[in-house]
Amino acid sequence: MSEVLKLSNVKKYYGRNKVITKAVNGISFQVMKGEFVAIMGASGSGKTTLLNCIATIDTVTSGNIMVDQTDITRMKEDALADFRRCELGFVFQDFNLLDTLTIRENIALSLVVNNFDSNEIDNLVDSIADKLDIKEILEKFPYEVSGGQKQRCACARALINNPKLILADEPTGSLDSKSARILLETMQVMNTDLEATILMVTHDAFSASFCSRVLFLKDGKIFNEIIKGEKSRKEFFEEILDILTLLGGDVLSVK
Amino acid sequence: MLSKLALKNVKRSFKDYVIYLITVTLAFSLMLAFNFIATSKDVINLSDTMKNFECTMYIVNTFIILSICFLINYTTKFMFSKRSREFGTYMILGLKKKQITRMFTLENIILGLISLVVAMPLGYFFSILLSAIIMNFFELPHLVKITLNIKSILILILYFAIIYFIVLFLSRRRIKKMKIKDLLYFYKQNEKPIAKKKIKNVTFILSLIIGICALVFFDKEFRGYGHEPSMVVIFTSIFLILISIYGISITLSDFLLSFILRHKKVKYKGNNLFIVRNFYSKVKSMSFTIGTLSFLITITLIALNISSFFKGMFDYQIDTIATYDIAIEDEREKFSAYLDAITKEYTISDKLIYDTYINDNKSITKIINYDGWRKNEQVIKLSDYNKLLRLKKSPIINLKDNEYILHVAREYKDKLKEVKSLDSITLSNGIELKKRDFIEQGYSFSWGYGYGYLVVVPDSAVEGLAVGDSHLIVDTLEDTTESFAKNLTKIASPDMCRENEDGYTVCYSSANVIVRGKEEASNKGFITISSFVCFYVALIFVAIVGTIISIELLSESTKYKYRYQVLSKLGLRDGELYKTVFKQLSVFFIFPIIYPIIVSIFSITSMNKLFKITLTSDYQYLQFFWFNLVIFVVFYLIYFVATYFGFKKNISE
């Protein structure tokens, strides 16, 4: 299996002069094609910063991030825009859908920017909506649908370009437990059936238990790593909880 | 797709930026209206000086354009911050900055074009309305016809292009500088740390001192009638006042906050704490903008007052120089010729012929060091004086046989008022008179031609004095005209009229003819321009200031809705909540106008030194000041009320 993402000794420091926050302090890991990886950690452990660096939203202080053999830390601005458009998909905690556009238009936006043929756009949107079970709401506006539906729409938008890597930042953060479960199952479908490679940041053990591998961050460094392997989801969940207890903090917030 | 997106955004923005759109439309239509008026043939033909009007308008419009740029730039910046996450999403989806810029530009141009299109018919309507007001204001008999001229419309389009070119250039730079991270997490960003409190308090005091010094310098330059103020000092003090306005606007809120926090009684009274904290955080994040707002308000108030000064000057001049429709000073034999000419054109409603007498004892002339062409003093009989008063419907006066009244123009009043030697004077016929009264009015110039003062004596006291000048006063039923004045001047000395190189007939005469219509016309030009321009500037600036404050507050109402929800959860009833909102908005609206009011009252007090001799009294400017403040507040209140109801609606949704 090929390597989609490779981080080597990535560091991200904030602040000037005396007060320096080492948000990410030398992290290296790889993600293989078709993996569903979760990054966990207490708040302030650097997980979102790390994701932002991979997403090219933020820049690294040092180290390299390779996406499919290309070093994104050395790319110029316009190239980065192209890169984001073609190679990456994003799912945010608060959806980031455009409320002036219908769900269909939201999903199609990145294709439109990519200058796809209009018939092809419609077909693609329909087929992906079918798989994510949002076909009925395609003509509605974001404010007319539920949070769970919005997030599935965001997933569809992230997926439609066939990106090499999908980055999700607390995708279940704004959802109730039922919608969260549906979304996670959807993401599993995306991972297994549509062969999407997903890197998800979460502080919720339940969400992480859907993944194939979990990385734990503490103070900007990798603290531990566990692999689901042949374990059942429940067993994996217990294992995650154990490590969170070890990490200290945040266990209470795990439902 | 991008243009479709832009269009959709415009549709949505419409609701959010109604006030902004209204103001931009208003500003454009006012610009158009004033240009229509400035270029209208009827207005230019009002008098010779009106030719400068159009030119003045171009200069003033430059400043107006700059302030509209400020407004539009401010709002786009504002829209930008409000929509930062949307832009972040575009970038995350891989849109290039160039594409985002193109979309944003398109959106803004669409919004601008809508305002421009609406502004055109509105501008025409305003021009009709405004010209009617102006004609009324200057008591012009005939209505000015405003013609739709292409030139004004083209100029407006040019202004529009300039404004949007500047604004879009600035927002292009803003987009170029932005980073996705900042856009996506804009709402989570902490406010930037600002200067320490101590520094702020020092700055506050320093700004206050600079302000006071500037006002003192400014005041020193206006020494009164006959002293030309130095432009260098004036501009320096204006510049210092500008610095002081910004300094105070930026630091006053800290000063107030530290004061209120130190006094527990004030702090915990009612909702003070909530209001002050809210206010403080808002002012802190937009202190520079508040400085600009205060500056604009200062200009507005001063402009309105200068406008009043000119209007007051105009009224006073007309009243003193041309108290009656026609006033002629000439030899008595010629009066019948004048009367014939007048009867041909007008219906005479009243007429009066009187003489002034010569007093060779120069008791007054000595004091004022008069070295003009008249070497003696003019004395008028009480009965004639009373007839003059009766003609202008003023109450008449009485004198005992040994009393006199000194009637002086306001230019001379300081020199003559408290002079002991004038308590009693002796005329050249030996009659001694005691001073009964001191009247300071300008009429002396026309009633006793060429003098700044008149001695009013009992009828019996002129015995033995030589007749100086003879005067003919006529009131007509109809309004007199500028051209009729020329006819009368020809009668005065037909041999002394000649044509100059420019083809104008210029007449020189030892006689003096004052025709009200002519005086009005020659004064009107300059005063109309000045008054009109000041009013125009004031109107647009109030609109800009109102819009910016309103947009700021309305956005806050949606952004910080939860703050009010907290209050209501803490048990505040709706009525009390609205009262809090009312208080808070009042504080925010009042804050930027306090310092401008102080600055403007001091500066117009200084300017009054120059203007007061041409006004009916030394303190008339205070009347102007209050009147203008009311005008300003009425306009400002419109924005306040609109904001209050919008705010209420937003937080109760």
Contacts of B546 (CB under 8 A, 6+ apart): B23, B635, B636, B638, B639, B640
Task: Give the pLDDT of residue A214.
Answer: 93
Beta strands in chain A (DSSP E): 3-14, 21-32, 36-41, 62-67, 70-71, 88-91, 165-169, 198-201, 213-218, 221-227
- Whole-angstrom Cα Rg for chain B: 32
Contacts A–B by Cβ distance under 8 A: 58
Most confident listed range (A175-179, B276-280, B443-447): A175-179
From the list B201, B199, B193, the residue with the least C-alpha distance to B259 is: B201
Q: Is residue A93 part of a domain?
A: yes
Rounded CA-CA distance B57/B465 in Å is 55
List, as one string, the DSSP characters of B10-51: HHHHHHHTHHHHHHHHHHHHHHHHHHHHHH-HHHHTT-GGGH
Largest CA distance in chain B: 105
Residue A78's closest chain B neighbor by CA?
B96
Per-residue model confidence as pLDDT tens digits over B7-21? 777 777 676 677 678
**Which residues on chain B are in Cβ contact (under 8 Å) with A58?**
181
User: Which residue range forms the structural domain that includes residue A238?
Assistant: 36-58+75-247
Per-residue confidence (pLDDT) for residue A203, from 0 to 100: 86
Q: Tokens 């003193």 — which residue? A: B320
**Of the candidates B616, B554, B620, B531, the residue with the CA atom closest to the CA atom of residue B75:** B554
Range with the largest mean pLDDT of B147-161, B319-333, B355-369: B147-161
In the predicted structure, residue B126 carries a pLDDT above the cut 70: yes
pLDDT value of position A251: 46
For residues B140 and B125, give the distance between their C-alpha atoms in angstroms, rounded to a whole number: 20
Mean of the pLDDT values across residues B44-54? 65
User: Any idea what DSSP says for residue A131?
Assistant: H
* Torsion, CA B502, CA B503, CA B505, CA B508, rounded to 10: 40
Looking at residue B582, the DSSP 8-state letter turns out to be H
**CB distance B533 to B60 below 8 Å:** yes
Whether the predicted pLDDT of B209 surpasses 70: yes
User: Is A254 among the domain residues?
Assistant: no
What element of type H or E holds B359? strand B348-359
Is residue A236, in this structure, part of any structural domain at all? yes
Determine how many CB atoms are found less than 10 A away from the CB of residue B229.
16
Is residue A16 one of the residues assigned to a domain?
Answer: no
Taking a C-beta distance cutoff of 8 angstroms, is the pair B210, B247 a contact? yes
- Residues in B closer than 8 angstroms to A56, CB to CB, are 180
Query: Among A42-46, B559-563, B590-594, which stretch is predicted with the lowest mean pLDDT?
Result: B559-563
> How far is B408 from B451, CA to CA, in rounded Å?
9
Of B9, B95, B180, the CB nearest to A57: B180
Do B587 and B279 meet the contact criterion of CB atoms below 8 Å apart? yes
Q: In this structure, what CATH number is given to the domain that contains residue A113?
A: 3.40.50.300
Task: List beta partners, residue B434.
Answer: B403, B424
Distance from CA of B179 to the nearest CA of A (A): 8
Question: Chain B contact for A55, CB < 8 A?
Answer: yes
Using the predicted structure, report yes or no on whether residue B195 has a pLDDT greater than 60.
Answer: no
Cα B456 to Cα A3, A18, B400, distances in angstroms:
112, 88, 12
**pLDDT tens-place string over residues B603-613:** 888 888 888 77
Residue of B8, B85, B93 to mutate, testing the A interface (most A Cβ within 10 Å of its Cβ): B93
Domain membership flag for residue A87: yes
Residue A25 lies in a domain: no
Q: How far apart are CA B330 and CA B321, in angstroms?
A: 17
Higher pLDDT, B257 or B538: B538
Write down the pLDDT at residue B135. Answer: 67
Query: DSSP secondary-structure letter at A197?
Result: -
* E strand or H helix at B513: strand B512-515
A96 touches chain B (CB under 8 A): yes
Count: domains in chain A: 1
Binding-face residues of B in 52-91 toward A, CB within 8 A: 85-86, 88-89, 91
* DSSP letters spanning B84-114: HHHHHHHHHTT--HHHHHHHHHHHHHHHHHH
ipTM metric: 0.82
| Domain assignment present for A10 | no
Contacts of B85 in chain A (CB under 8 A): 96
Of B8, B89, B94, the CB nearest to A82: B94
Q: Is residue A94 part of a domain?
A: yes
Give yes or no for residue B132 having a pLDDT over 60.
Answer: yes
Which amino acid is present at B154? L
Strands B326-330 and B512-515, sheet pairing: antiparallel
Pairwise CB contact (< 8 Å): B95 & A78: no
Helices (H), B185-263: 197-221, 231-262
What's residue B446's pLDDT?
63
pLDDT at residue B377, as a whole number? 77
pLDDT of residue B454: 81
Would you call A79 an interface residue with chain B, using a CB distance cutoff of 8 Å? no
| Beta carbons of A85 and B93 less than 8 Å apart | yes
Tokens of A3: 């390597």
* Sign of the alpha-carbon torsion through B278, B281, B282, B287: positive
Most confident segment among A89-103, B408-422, B455-469, B587-601: B587-601
Separation between Cα atoms, residue A131 and residue A128, nearest integer Å = 5
B283-295 pLDDT, tens digit per residue, is: 777 778 888 889 9
Determine the distance in angstroms separating the CA of A113 from the nearest CA of chain B, rounded to an integer: 7
Q: How far is residue A209's CA from residue A184's CA, in Å, rounded to a whole number? A: 10
pLDDT in tens, chain A (255 residues): 688 899 999 998 887 777 788 888 889 999 999 999 999 988 878 888 898 899 888 888 899 999 888 898 888 888 888 888 888 888 888 888 887 788 988 888 878 776 778 888 888 889 888 888 888 899 998 888 888 888 889 888 888 888 889 999 888 888 888 888 888 888 888 888 888 899 999 888 888 999 999 999 888 888 889 998 888 989 999 999 988 888 765 445 444
The verdict on B188 touching A (C-beta cutoff 8 Å) is no
Helix or strand (DSSP H, E) at A207: helix A205-208
Helix axes B18-39, B516-559, angle to 10 degrees: 170
pLDDT in tens, B169-188: 988 888 888 888 777 776 55
- For the ranges A115-124, A221-230, B244-253, B484-493, the lowest mean pLDDT is seen at B484-493
Q: Which helix (H) or strand (E) holds B357?
A: strand B348-359
- What chain B residue is nearest to A55 in terms of C-alpha separation? B92
SS3 B142: coil
Taking CA atoms, what residue in A is nearest to B91?
A: A81
